[in-house]
Chains A and B, each alone.
Chain A
Amino acid sequence: MNLRKYLKVYKKFLHTSLASELEYKTNILVDLITAILSLIGSIFLLSIFFQNNGYIGGWEFEQALIIQGIYTILNGITNTWFNPNLTEIVKHIREGTLDFVLLKPIDSQFFISLKKINPSGILEIMLGYCLLCFCIRINQININLSFLTLSMITISCSICILYSLWFFISTTTIWFVKTWNATEVLRSFLYIGRFPLNSFSFSLRIFFSVFIPIAFITTIPSEVFLGLSQLWKILLEVIVAAVFLITSRKFWLFALKFYSSASS
């Protein structure tokens, strides 16, 4: 019953935010061109890396393209849901409108994370999906049930980790008020998710798997695509995702205790 209520509310969210976003129609077109150009740009960069070298960190060009595809999908998800909603938290807290959210008879994290949607990100997701399909063909990956389930599991875990990272940073706004630029820092770190983890030096590899688990986000799903991944890595990713989700939830509830509205 509770679930049905949330579904119904989410439908309303979709309706209202789509209606307001579709008012800027040329904007969506420009965003689509931006997404396409950005994909072309990163493939261009990859081709520079590979022009004299067959392997980067043990990955061939065709294999590294899978990482690009997964990154594009995840970036699209970020642009569709995480970015428009979680930057809104900053505004809520600065202007004190978080009060209204907290008073509503609905879970505040649900409301804050899913209220808005940016349709141009969906086009980016589709673009990444097309690239992935192309990669499946050129890498001659045969699709079977276990491959599909494993890739689904790892990609959804990546989405959970990504969401938790964004949500975690946005939550710190309750103390620091202005964290616009903290999300910029996260964004620039996430940028390295476009490249295989093995192409970095050992110390950076440790940093990006222990402190900010960007390594898990794109590299492990890509390894699943290539059938290279060991079971323990997949299990580890599931565990990391679960830990991140639970911690971000706990952190939000903890942070709310310190919320004191604007100008009080």
Chain B
Amino acid sequence: MISNLINRKLFTLLKVQYSNMLEYRVEIALWAISGIIPFFMLNIWTNNNLNEYINISDVMLSRYFLCAFFIRQFSVVWVVFSFEEDSLMGKVSPYLIQPLNPFFRYFAQHLAEQITRFPFALIIAFFFFIFNPESIWIPNLGILLLSIVSTFLSFLIQFLIQSIVACLCFWTEKASSIERLLFIPTLFLSGLLAPVVSFPAYVKSWIYLTPFPYLIDFPANLLSGNETNISGGLSMQILWIFLLFPLFKKIWSEGTKKYTAMGS
């Protein structure tokens, strides 16, 4: 009964947000283009033969970076920025009265945006294959499903982390600068710019304990068919979600108690 209600609400939200997002097609296309940094990195790697030292062939590396591009496309989160704007503008107050956690709204927004973004990402991948025809491959169905799951889990981890940061808006009003700070380790350690395999040993010794390699490196390796520990990666992703979710609930309930509307 309760889950049914949430399902219906979530579905309606998703429908509304999807039609909303469709209005901003050009913007989303531009956003998809702005994610092409992995391709530039691929160019540096292969053009200087850097991948010889980490035993990944050109083709495997190009698949890796293409997958990294895809995973990034479907795990971009910007909830902090939306929430900060809404809370500064006082839009959060009406949301709080509704019998639904406002973060469901943002969650639906993100999912709708991903659906809108999908065709653009496909077009970019199509162009990538025109320039690199040798790297075309078809992952088998099981791997494909698993990597979709792990991409979604990666999205969930980032969504939870950002929601926790967003809740700091209740205290500081400007939480987006903290998010920009957290983005730096995400950028450099997640495997978006260089596969984690290539990292020096002193980083590799501790990086697998942090959530970062599970955001892009693990799903990208999984999808591209590079060597990776599937069950270990998935369980670490789930572990991080189980660690972050109670934290979010705690900070949310503390924050809403703290919340005072603008002008009060």
Q: How far is the CB of A186 from chain B (nearest CB, A)?
A: 8
Q: Known contacts A53-B53, A57-B48, A204-B40; is A181 also within 8 Å of B185 by CB?
A: no
Contact bitstring B39-61, A, C-beta under 8 A = 1, else 0: 01001101111101100000000
**Is the pair A185, B34 in contact by a Cβ cutoff of 8 Å?**
yes
Chain A's closest residue to B187 (CB) is: A41
- Inside 8 A of A178's CB, which chain B residues have their CB? 24, 26-27
Q: How far is the CB of A220 from chain B (nearest CB, A)?
A: 19
- Inside 8 A of B31's CB, which chain A residues have their CB? 181, 184
Contact bitstring A28-58, B, C-beta under 8 A = 1, else 0: 0011011001100110110111011100110
Q: Which of A31, A41, A45, A200 contacts B47 (CB 8 A)?
A: A200
**Is the pair B40, A184 in contact by a Cβ cutoff of 8 Å?**
no
Stretch at the interface among A141-149, A151-159, A188-196, A221-229: A188-196
**Is the pair A34, B35 in contact by a Cβ cutoff of 8 Å?**
no
Per the bound structure, the CA–CA distance linking A179 and B172 in Å amounts to 28
Counting chain B CB atoms within 10 Å of each CB, which of A48, A52, A185, A191 scores highest? A48
Per the bound structure, the CA–CA distance linking A89 and B31 in Å amounts to 19
Q: Known contacts A195-B44, A200-B43; is A181 also within 8 Å of B34 by CB?
A: yes
**Is the pair A45, B194 in contact by a Cβ cutoff of 8 Å?**
yes
**Is the pair A41, B198 in contact by a Cβ cutoff of 8 Å?**
no
Chain B's closest residue to A204 (CB) is: B43
Per the bound structure, the CA–CA distance linking A66 and B199 in Å amounts to 23
- Interface assignment of B200: CB less than 8 Å from any CB of chain A: yes
**Is the pair A56, B48 in contact by a Cβ cutoff of 8 Å?**
yes
Number of residues on chain B facing chain A (CB within 8 A): 37
Per the bound structure, the CA–CA distance linking A180 and B28 in Å amounts to 10
- Interface assignment of B33: CB less than 8 Å from any CB of chain A: yes
Q: Known contacts A34-B177, A38-B184, A48-B199; is A199 also within 8 Å of B34 by CB?
A: no
**Is the pair A51, B200 in contact by a Cβ cutoff of 8 Å?**
yes
- Inside 8 A of B130's CB, which chain A residues have their CB? none
Per the bound structure, the CA–CA distance linking A47 and B203 in Å amounts to 12
Q: Which of B52, B178, B193 contacts A30 (CB 8 A)?
A: B178
Contact bitstring B177-199, A, C-beta under 8 A = 1, else 0: 11011001101100001100011
**Is the pair A34, B40 in contact by a Cβ cutoff of 8 Å?**
no
Chain A's closest residue to B24 (CB) is: A178
**Is the pair B184, A34 in contact by a Cβ cutoff of 8 Å?**
yes
**Is the pair B184, A185 in contact by a Cβ cutoff of 8 Å?**
no
Q: How far is the CB of A48 from chain B (nearest CB, A)?
A: 5
**Is the pair B27, A34 in contact by a Cβ cutoff of 8 Å?**
no
Q: Which of B37, B43, B203 contacts A188 (CB 8 A)?
A: B37
- Interface assignment of A100: CB less than 8 Å from any CB of chain B: no
- Inside 8 A of A37's CB, which chain B residues have their CB? 181, 184-185
- Inside 8 A of B178's CB, which chain A residues have their CB? 30
**Is the pair A192, B187 in contact by a Cβ cutoff of 8 Å?**
no
Q: Known contacts A48-B198, A48-B200, A188-B36; is A200 also within 8 Å of B44 by CB?
A: yes
Q: How far is the CB of A131 from chain B (nearest CB, A)?
A: 17
Q: Which of B24, B40, B194 contacts A192 (CB 8 A)?
A: B40
Chain B's closest residue to A39 (CB) is: B184
Per the bound structure, the CA–CA distance linking A48 and B187 in Å amounts to 15
Chain A's closest residue to B183 (CB) is: A34
**Is the pair A34, B181 in contact by a Cβ cutoff of 8 Å?**
yes
**Is the pair B200, A47 in contact by a Cβ cutoff of 8 Å?**
yes
Q: How far is the CB of B212 from chain A (nearest CB, A)?
A: 12
- Inside 8 A of A185's CB, which chain B residues have their CB? 30, 33-34
Q: Which of B26, B34, B40, B188 contacts A45 (CB 8 A)?
A: B188
- Inside 8 A of A44's CB, which chain B residues have their CB? 188, 203
**Is the pair A180, B35 in contact by a Cβ cutoff of 8 Å?**
no
- Interface assignment of B105: CB less than 8 Å from any CB of chain A: no
- Known: A51-B53, A188-B34; 12 extra A-B contacts, CB below 8 A, are A34-B184, A37-B181, A41-B187, A45-B188, A48-B198, A48-B199, A52-B52, A53-B49, A57-B47, A195-B44, A200-B44, A204-B43
Chain A residues within 8 Å of B, Cβ to Cβ: 24, 26-27, 30-31, 33-34, 37-38, 41-42, 44-45, 47-49, 51-53, 56-57, 176, 178-182, 184-185, 187-188, 191-192, 195, 199-201, 204
Q: For the complex of A and B, list the 9 residue pairs with the smallest distance between their C-beta atoms, beginning with the closest.
A: A52-B53, A41-B188, A181-B30, A184-B34, A37-B184, A30-B177, A188-B34, A185-B34, A34-B181
Q: 14 A–B contact pairs at CB < 8 A?
A: A27-B177, A37-B185, A38-B184, A45-B194, A48-B200, A49-B44, A51-B53, A52-B50, A56-B48, A181-B34, A188-B36, A188-B37, A201-B47, A204-B40
